[in-house]
Amino acid sequence: MSSETEAAQFSNGTDAVQVISPNDDHRVTPGDDERRHLNDAVRSLPSHAVKDLLSAGVCIRCIFRLFGISDHAYFRSSLSPSVMCNILGEGDSSSSESMESELKPEVCRICLGILQFIYRDEKEMLVKRKNGDELAASIAELTRQEGHQIDGFSLEVSIPPIIFENEQAVRLYMKKKYGSELWFQERLSECISTKDALKFAIVNPLEIILDVKSGPSYVRIRLTYTETKPSIIPSKSVDRNGGSKRRKTGTNNGLDTVHVELVGNGTGCCDLSLGQGSPASGRSSTGLAEHESSECSNFPLERVNEPCHLVFLCYRTPIYFGGRYLKFSRNVSQTRWIIDDERMGEASIEEIIGGNILPMCQGDSYKFHAAGREDIDVRMLGSGRPFLVEVQNAREVPSEALVKEIETRMNNLGNKLVGVKNLSLVTSHSWDLMREGEAEKQKQYSALVWISRPLEDEDLQCIASHKDLQILQRTPVRVLHRRSPLERGKIIHWMKIEQITGSSQYFLLHLCTQAGTYIKEFVHGDLGRTHPSIGSILRCRAEILQLDVTDVKMDCFLAE
């Protein structure tokens, strides 16, 4: 990340540290109007309560949000206790100096440094940004390094649940101490959540630096804050006070934590103010439950020696390519097939198609999905089988022309193992369409069959006379090692025999069946596990020599 190093002092009760600050190209320096508004906002606050909170180790931005001050500038400006001292001091420089000396900057006991822009990075280095502009510049630089093609972004923020507990303890303390004062009911009912305050600080500068708008987007910027030393949370509090939040358990490099919030609503953040419950929750107009006043014994909060860890992540939600594939070889599996470190077949459809699409998108990985599958020795002909390729975290979204170029390239491969039709970028809704159609689809086949006696004219008529034939199939012997032993009812919609010139015991069987029918077993009977079968209908032994899928009757990914 391109940055300059400036020496700065940050006292958290232990050692001073050196701080890394990003380039100032996009920094918004507070002007005279901003300072005037800031002074006016601070002077509108009850000074005795503000001094009380400062003395208790609450940072200035948390004080602002507790009192409902929501202007972006207050959260983006470089704020220090001296700001409050200069405004709230009695105009006496000695009293200001005395007040500031008592209020050495430390990690906020409510937000754990989040709104002070202090954090531990992935290398365990202590980092302090002066304001939201500097933090936004760091995030933007990471996004650029990832190389994403961006036309917008949405912001995801995850914070430790202890922050909510800390805020509630402070609000309950203030209610007990100042609840009878006129300003209390009005100001503390307007509390702004930590996430919203962080949004005020970084969304607008991110929009300026990245030159795109925030809002619902496929590109997500995620900030995951986790406690350095996780606290023990009273089990009743989080569920009671944050019942509307989504909860996840377990962590993975700090990415799967509690209270993941997708920030969306066109401004980059959802409006989820902490401490404001429904009337049914028993809360007063200040968002505090009347019976919770006893919990103010949690105040004053313990000193915080370490800020949160912060992990940045920029990623794109999956993009999808849909189409239909054809398989011309009887030695190609649908997906990569390895048994005892030995590859089965000479290639796989998954690797041929996905391996050509992934580099085009500069993605991390891909997943291959298809509407059913055929055995490795079965060809897929006709209009092909519908498939989707899901690309994870694509840096580039290819143009329509480039997609067609990739389709042509795959169809011109020298080995002629696989062909692709109608390849295109599709939405995630296509996944649902493919899955819905898969259960109801019909499939047509062509099978080369041998029977133990010569074929007669009556056999042709007998086979063709069966319409919507219902059969019962127990799980075939050949797949019992990986499938449950069930009995399935299937339908053979129609059949017909095509004779082969010069042969009396070989013929082509064309048939249309319900999805999921085991065709090989329908021909030879599978030791009586499929009934009726071609063998039982013709009253002779029947064996299948070759099988092709000639049509998968589904509407998705057909040519327009």
Residue 97 has pLDDT above 70, yes or no: no
Query: Do residues 76 and 221 share a domain?
Result: yes
- Domain stops at, among 410, 440, 470: 440
- Tell me: do 423 and 494 sit in the same domain: no
Tell me the per-residue pLDDT of 128-155, one tens digit each, with 9 for 90 and over. 998 889 999 999 998 888 888 888 999 9
pLDDT tier at 267 (50, 70, 90 boundaries)? Answer: very low
pLDDT band, very low/low/confident/very high, at 415 (cuts 50, 70, 90): confident
- Show the domain range for 480: 443-552
What's the rounded Cα separation, in Å, for the pair 530 and 542? 13
Look up the CATH number of the domain holding residue 374: 3.30.70.2510
Structural element, H or E, at residue 210: helix 194-210
Domain presence at residue 128: yes
Is 251 inside any structural domain?
no
State the pLDDT at residue 5: 35
- The single residue listed with the structure tokens 């079965």 is 378
Same domain, 425 and 457: no
Structure confidence by residue, pLDDT tens digits, 445-478 = 999 999 999 999 999 999 999 999 999 999 999 8
Residue 519 near residue 445, CB atoms below 8 Å: yes
Tokens of 128: 């302090």
Q: What is the pLDDT of residue 340?
A: 80
DSSP symbols for 417-443: -EEEEEEEEE-THHHHHHHHHHHH-EE
Number of domains in the chain: 3
- Please list, in sequence order, all residues whose beta carbon lies within 8 angstroms of the beta carbon of residue 54, skipping any fewer than 6 positions away: 60, 63, 81, 84, 103
pTM for the model = 0.71
- Same-domain status, 462 and 424: no
pLDDT at 223 over 80: yes
Residue 545's identity, in one-letter code, is: L
Task: Provide the terminal-to-terminal Cα distance of the chain, rounded to the nearest Å.
Answer: 47
CA angle 148, 149, 150 (to 5 degrees): 100
Give the separation between CA 523 and CA 5, rounded to whole angstroms: 76
Give the per-residue pLDDT at 268: 36
| DSSP E strand boundaries for 216-318 | 219-226, 260-263, 309-316
Is residue 11 assigned to a domain? no
Last residue of a domain, one of 440, 459, 481: 440
Task: Out of 202, 226, 250, pick the residue that ends a domain.
Answer: 226
Q: What is the three-class DSSP state of 387?
A: strand
Same domain for 182 and 134, yes or no, is yes
**CA-closest candidate to residue 391, choices 409, 368, 414:** 368
Pairing of strands 442-451, 338-339: unpaired
Give the mean model confidence (pLDDT) for residues 88-116: 65
Give the helix ranges, DSSP H, for 327-398: 349-361
CB 426 within 8 A of CB 321: yes
| Section 339-363 average pLDDT | 90
Is 334 within a domain?
Answer: yes
Domain-located, residue 479: yes
Query: From the CB of residue 170, how many other CB atoms can be counted at a distance below 10 Å?
Result: 24
375 flagged as catalytic:
yes
- The per-residue pLDDT for 91 is 45
Is the C-alpha dihedral spanning 148, 153, 154, 160 positive or negative? positive
- Give pLDDT, residue 34: 65
**Residues 422, 479 share a domain:** no
| CATH number reported for the structural domain that contains residue 472 in this entry | 3.30.70.3190
Identify whether 331 is part of a domain: yes
Residue 288 lies in a domain: no
Kindly state whether residues 470 and 373 are assigned to the same domain. no
Based on the fold, state whether residues 150 and 114 are members of the same structural domain. Answer: yes
Q: Are 185 and 164 in a shared domain?
A: yes
Q: Which of 375, 432, 457, 548 is catalytic?
A: 375
Residue 416 inside a domain? The answer is yes
| Total number of residues shown for the chain | 560
Residues 432 and 448 in one domain: no
pLDDT over 60 (residue 116): yes
Same domain, 393 and 454: no
**Whether residue 489 sits in one domain with residue 405:** no
Q: Measuring CA to CA, how many Å separate 400 from each of 294, 360, 404?
A: 64, 12, 6
Q: From 127, 82, 56, select the one nearest 306 (Cα to Cα).
A: 127
Q: DSSP E strands: which ranges in 154-248?
A: 154-158, 219-226
Per-residue pLDDT band for 93 (boundaries 50, 70, 90) equals very low
Region class of 384: left (phi > 0), else alpha (psi between -120 and 50), else beta? left
* 310-342 pLDDT per residue, tens: 999 999 999 999 999 999 999 999 998 888 878
